[in-house]
Structure 1
């Protein structure tokens, strides 16, 4: 796990320079958070174990309430052999209108042999005129597993706001011993044309992705993931990766995006981890706050 040097202060011009470093280890029959280093505005809550000692759930908190232009956030998480951790966020992430500077978040995830990391943050809301870039790199050892998702709402659509000005980029890479297993680069420049283009947002304010990497996936599992979508109104896709599964959503409902991605997550968890999806209590609290509901475990 990479370490950073001395603390950096908040500057009105530069924004927050936050850092969070976590390390997990398997000790006897339990996964323990053995190292944490925090720098505001990032924090991690006390680990909890809603499904027993083998899986450590951790929630990341952004104490400033949202990300603004000039913010530079860095997160690193290391899983030692046979550890299993689920990382999520306390609330939806808000990317505010920029002051002209780009906000960035860099995530480095290292997963050792036999370890499993579930990277499942809550929804990100990208305000109109936001400028933001996120880079996620996963170093996945042979025998390790990684699954992750992101759900993005472009514009505060409940207020009638659309993402017509600004810039959003998300780059995710999963590597294994110098070989790329999955590279995903997304770019949404705010404009009327991109918002309505069938090759852009297609008039839909919400997109979502779920990826599972580390095992060969049977075509039957792909069909099951697609079948879970029946009866909903948005657009979805599911396909095999070189060593995993990728699902996409584009539509207008956070509820249906969450429900489908949670259902796919449950499917993958049951098949490969022999565990049902254990929905963190934080998601349920966030759901009540936003008048949304999740399917039961």
Structure 2
């Protein structure tokens, strides 16, 4: 019997760091290893410097690894986003999972944004993803992660596979929030259960960490109420956590854009809009 074919798998990494300079925030460090790439588009004068991440492989599958590190130094301000939705393809039988790790360090008095566009899970995909952040006293972080459960435009839903999506948020090294969603095996049955997603095919988590987090709770709830999705928001210990469930990817994206744009305007005095790559 012929030995099983071993396919090439990616092990990508990127690190981007910003620091406060005389004229504003400047790039302090950059490292990238294929298929991870970092682009630096020109931004409007009223926007902080922006880094756009992309995966040149066109998506990830079983056995692939991706590690992203972001650092925004004391007093600096920066936005990190992604060029487009990330695709997680079906893993072959017996293959391991794709692993994505994102680590964010935010210095004292800094403003950092992690505005990732959605991850689309093909049926049979296997993904373990970790978002970890450590925010210094006086620093602020706005972070977005979202999932689309299947290629809904093709009539497909994520029914088998693995999704382990976890968050670890620290403030000055102290763990202040830990969260995980785990779907494995008969994902379709779990999603359709009374405690599951019902008719929803997309979900998102938005997190804002800052001393003023509680001041924005009512504003966020008002935005959610008008977004046409299921959602909720709560605030505690300097955290504002927003959950979104939607029947379609466009509805979820619309709600995420509305909430994130409102938060960055109210909390940081930035324009009430998301990076242009979100609208291409």
Do the structures match in fold with TM over 0.5?
yes
Alignment of 1:170 with 2:126, yes or no, is: no
Residues 231 and 275 from structure 1, CA distance in 2 versus in 1: closer, same or farther, beyond 3 angstroms? closer
Provide the residue aligned with 2:239 in structure 1.
244
Question: After the TM superposition, which residues 227-242 of structure 1 pair with which residues of structure 2 at under 5 Å, given as runs?
Answer: 227-242=222-237
Question: After the TM superposition, which residues 54-73 of structure 1 pair with which residues of structure 2 at under 5 Å, given as runs?
Answer: 55-73=48-66
* TM-score relative to the length of structure 2: 0.91
Q: Is the 8 A contact 1:182 1:241 kept in 2?
A: no
- Give, in whole Å, the separation in 1 of the partners of 2:26 and 2:33: 21
Q: CA deviation at 1:256?
A: 2.3
Cα displacement string for residues 263-283 of structure 1 (whole angstroms, at most 9, x for unaligned residues)? 222222222212222322211
Quote the RMSD (CA, aligned, Å).
1.8
| Secondary structure of residue in 1 paired with 2:26 | strand
From 170, 188, 191, the equivalent of 2:187 is: 191
Provide the residue aligned with 1:121 in structure 2.
116
Q: CA deviation at 1:14?
A: 5.8
Range with greater deviation from structure 2 (185-194 or 122-131): 185-194
Q: CA deviation at 1:48?
A: 2.8
- Give, in whole Å, the separation in 1 of the partners of 2:88 and 2:211: 34
- Number of aligned residue pairs: give it: 273
Q: CA deviation at 1:253?
A: 2.2
- Give, in whole Å, the separation in 2 of the partners of 1:96 and 1:125: 9
Provide the residue aligned with 1:3 in structure 2.
none
Q: Is the 8 A contact 1:181 1:243 kept in 2?
A: no
- Give, in whole Å, the separation in 2 of the partners of 1:233 and 1:80: 37
Alignment of 1:144 with 2:126, yes or no, is: no
Alignment of 1:204 with 2:200, yes or no, is: yes
Residues 166 and 32 from structure 1, CA distance in 2 versus in 1: closer, same or farther, beyond 3 angstroms? same
| Secondary structure of residue in 2 paired with 1:113 | coil
| Secondary structure of residue in 1 paired with 2:225 | coil
Provide the residue aligned with 2:90 in structure 1.
97
Provide the residue aligned with 2:15 in structure 1.
21
- Give, in whole Å, the separation in 2 of the partners of 1:136 and 1:201: 22
Q: CA deviation at 1:225?
A: 1.4
Q: Is the 8 A contact 1:48 1:58 kept in 2?
A: no
From 129, 134, 156, the equivalent of 1:161 is: 156
Unaligned runs of 5+ in 1: 1-10, 286-297
Q: Is the 8 A contact 1:216 1:242 kept in 2?
A: no
Cα displacement string for residues 165-198 of structure 1 (whole angstroms, at most 9, x for unaligned residues)? 1010111111122321221211122423212123
Residues 235 and 29 from structure 1, CA distance in 2 versus in 1: closer, same or farther, beyond 3 angstroms? same
Q: CA deviation at 1:77?
A: 1.1
Q: Is the 8 A contact 2:227 2:255 kept in 1?
A: no
* TM-score relative to the length of structure 1: 0.86
